[in-house]
Chains A and B, each alone.
Chain A
Amino acid sequence: MSLLRTEGLNLRFGGVVALDDVAISIDDGEIVGLLGPNGAGKSTLFNVLSGLLTPDSGRVTLSERDISRALPYERALAGLGRTFQHIKLFPGHTVDENLRIAQHRHLSSSTVAAMLRLPSWRRDEAEVRERVDAILELIDLERYRHHRPGELSYGTLRFVELAAVLSLRPQVLLLDEPASGIAQREAEALGPLLREIRDVLGCAIFLIEHDMPLLLSVSERVYALDFGKVIAHGTPDEVTADDHVLSSYLGRTRRTDVAAS
């Protein structure tokens, strides 16, 4: 039974076909890679999955529930977490505060309870502290707790964003190029970390990545996208051996992904 599935997703931007009849399916606890050249439609697919873009046609289901019409926050609450190719954090807040914001889903105290500091608010605040401590430990970010995003390296920010989305306790985690712009050493740590996250939190991971060694080593299955179309799908070995993929992607030498939008 698939956890996250799309059927016949189509999306055009003017003359550009960004998604062309895309059907993918991700199972519980799986790590699935998504590869494709710049402009293939990978981020667009993530935006459609998370509800930031509405497709021209097609369906998205999460645990057999049709979420095609759900708003982004409803999908987040339903268990769909994502990061962005261009990091989105709250720049005016410290890492600690960013991660507190990210605990929203697990808290319930009302406006009135907060204004009168009722017991339900007290419980919430105690819980938020515990949860933030736990996630800082899992991602090993304790020493950056009181820093603001502007004071941290790009690589560290990637991990902070990861910690924020993990705070949702998602069932499916969509990661858009988590290794882009980060140091080699950090990129190497990412593979084991993603597996640990999957094992500890039991979530499925759908991963866009131009770092091929990382993508191929961590993924159990891979989809290849080109011009918005799924051109290959299978185990990493099968996909890297595919003629279409070789000619469209792996054959070309391009490391322009850092500069690309």
Chain B
Amino acid sequence: MSTKVIDTSVLPKTERRRRAPSGTATAAAVALAAAAIVPLLLGDFASFVGARIAVTAIIGLSVIVVTGYTGQLSLMPYTFVGIGVFVAAHTITGWGWPFWFAAAFAALLSVPLSVLVGLVAVRLRGFYFAIATLTFASAVGATLFEWDAFTGGQKGLSVARPVVGPIDFGGDKAYYLLCLATVLLLVWMVMGLQDSRIGRAMAAVRENETAAATLGVNVMKTKLVAFVVSGMVAAIGGVYHGMLLQSVTRTPYQTPFVEAVGVTLVILVVVGGMRSPWGPFIGAAIIYVQLEVFRTALFLQYFIAAVTAVAFVVVLLKLPDGLVGLIKHEAANVRRAPRRGGIRVAIIIALNVAVFYAIWRLSQ
């Protein structure tokens, strides 16, 4: 008996901490099952929205790596998405490649561009890094995406959804499940990165470049690696984005749209949570689902910008870890005091729905 007591006290505390508290695994499994089943039950349109959420979550993961982990604000994620989109159009539809091969190829093709941009941008900090990425986004839009052979000119190109053996991912339901599986895989990969030598170097660079360098971290190389990984993830997201839309044109990847959607994505990721790979998924889910639920509201498009702005400010001031932070916090409350915690959660959800409902009523 006594040896047992000593043994546990000798265990590194981090291990005990890391182990998920009881109930969390069950809650995660339930949430996952719900995410997989609910859109299918609701039908094709809900599955399409679900796939859009999953694809946004993939693209958002690229923001997590470079901005959330490494602290460098890149505003060109959709430039890499564009590369993925058109690579998908050529390789999947044109050359009949399997989609996963196209995704790997798009990731590879993004590397020369991210290295080129990276070599310039990693020498810069903060504001200047962001401006450099904007400039490159604009430049790529005016050159590579103006190349008609690559983008299909004004008419654009079509992208086929994959058929793998007996499974046809052409329908929205099947395609949603494919996107969900992919986002889970990529979240798992980005989580691994966070708990590694490179991930810790990224966090060190984000918090204090001088201290990081003093401890032997190559600051520029770390930023470059983050930027390259981020570009690869965004390009993979682009392949899935292309298959989602099935018909793609160059306009969204050129000025002024490419910058605008880049900023919008960063806001979505901040609201969802910058420090967690789940952040983009949760941010996209909460924003897109409510948008669809209240889409009959005529002027919602105008109000959604205001709501997002308010949510953004609230997150910046009150929730440094975004909705992921809020969920973790409330889950801890529920565990400690199930009744009071449950009431708190109900109030938060009710408030959130009330805001959207109020906007909806106002705009009728």
A contacts, CB < 8 Å to B:
50, 52, 71-73, 76-77, 81-82, 84, 88-93, 96-97, 100-105, 107-111, 113-117, 121, 124-125, 128-129, 133, 145-146, 164-165, 167-168
Contact = CB atoms under 8 A, between A and B. Distances in A.
Interface stretch (B81-89, B215-223, B257-265): B215-223
Contacts of B211: 84, 88-90
B225 A104 contact: no
B140 interface: no
A117 B215 contact: no
B195 interface: yes
Contact of A73 (B12, B17, B208, B219): B219
27 contacts: A50-B214, A72-B210, A73-B217, A76-B216, A82-B214, A84-B211, A84-B214, A88-B214, A90-B203, A93-B207, A101-B200, A101-B203, A102-B215, A104-B200, A104-B204, A104-B215, A104-B216, A107-B197, A111-B198, A114-B195, A114-B199, A115-B190, A116-B192, A121-B196, A129-B14, A133-B12, A165-B214
A112 B262 CA distance: 26
A232 B208 CA distance: 36
B201 interface: yes
B300 interface: no
B210 A168 contact: no
Interface string B93-135: 0000000000000000000000000000000000000000000
B13 interface: yes
A118 to B, nearest CB: 9
Contact of A90 (B14, B196, B204): B204
B174 interface: no
A72 B290 CA distance: 50
B17 A146 contact: yes
3 tightest A-B CB contacts, nearest first: A114-B196, A76-B216, A88-B211
B229 interface: yes
B192 A165 contact: no
B198 A101 contact: no
B298 interface: no
B189 interface: yes
A121 B214 contact: no
A261 B189 CA distance: 44
A110 B201 CA distance: 12
B13 A76 contact: no
A71 B213 contact: yes
A114 B215 CA distance: 21
Given A91-B207, A114-B193, A124-B197, A168 B213 contact: no
Interface of B: 12-14, 17, 189-190, 192-193, 195-201, 203-204, 207-208, 210-219, 225, 229
A96 B210 CA distance: 20
A97 B200 contact: yes
Given A96-B14, A108-B197, A124-B197, 8 more contacts: A73-B218, A84-B214, A90-B203, A90-B211, A92-B207, A101-B204, A128-B197, A168-B215
Contact of B217 (A92, A104, A114, A116): A104
Contact of B198 (A77, A84, A110): A110
A104 B13 contact: no
Given A91-B207, A101-B201, A115-B190, A109 B196 contact: yes
Given A90-B203, A104-B201, A115 B208 contact: no
A81 B207 CA distance: 19
A153 B225 CA distance: 36
B213 A73 contact: yes
A125 B196 contact: yes
Contacts of B225: 111
Given A73-B213, A73-B216, A73-B219, A93 B203 contact: yes
Nearest to A114: B196
A81 B219 CA distance: 17
Contacts of A50: 214
A201 B165 CA distance: 61
Contacts of A73: 212-214, 216-219
A89 to B, nearest CB: 7
Contacts of A92: 203, 207
Contacts of B197: 103-104, 107-109, 114, 124, 128
A88 B210 contact: yes
Nearest to B189: A115
B13 A168 contact: no
A81 B198 CA distance: 20
B135 to A, nearest CB: 26
